[in-house]
Amino acid sequence: MIRERRLKLRISQEELAHQCDVERSYVGRIERGKSQPGLHLIFKLTDALRMDVGRLVRQLRVAVERLERPARPIREKRVEERTVPRLELTSSGSKPRR
């Protein structure tokens, strides 16, 4: 949501970080959902991105909930066991027997 809005406005992470008085890497972590901005920074972000605070907070909450949800377990596929006939050679080395 923040990244999409920033790109729509054609603002670099560096420029957004400068406007909000934070490091560029911190803006990147926020965009990836690895960091949660405090209320003071949320106001700065919404000013810089020209968006409504309520909208951003709702979008951030949804993103955080997605991150906190436990991953669904991967279902294991059931593989049917098959019996393969075993071939044996006779002592004379001629035709194999089953």
Query: Could you read off the pLDDT of 38-77 as tens digits, one per residue?
Result: 989 999 999 999 999 988 778 778 877 887 777 677 676 6
Q: Are 50 and 9 in contact (CB under 8 A)?
A: yes
**Per-residue model confidence (pLDDT) at position 63:** 75
**Per-residue model confidence (pLDDT) at position 44:** 94
Q: What is the mean pLDDT of residues 27-32?
A: 92
The residue assigned the tokens 């000013």 is 47
In the chain, what are the domain boundaries?
A: 2-68
With vertex at residue 34, the alpha carbon angle to CA 31 and CA 35, rounded to the nearest 5 degrees, is 85
Q: How far is CA 25 from the centre of its chain?
A: 17
Nearest Cα residue to 19 out of 4, 38, 41, 35: 41
Domain made up of 2-68: CATH architecture:
Orthogonal Bundle (1.10)
**Per-residue model confidence (pLDDT) at position 7:** 95
**Per-residue model confidence (pLDDT) at position 19:** 96
- CA dihedral over 12, 16, 18, 23, signed as positive or negative: negative
**Per-residue model confidence (pLDDT) at position 76:** 66
Write down the pTM of the prediction.
0.59
Is pLDDT at 24 greater than 70 in this prediction?
yes
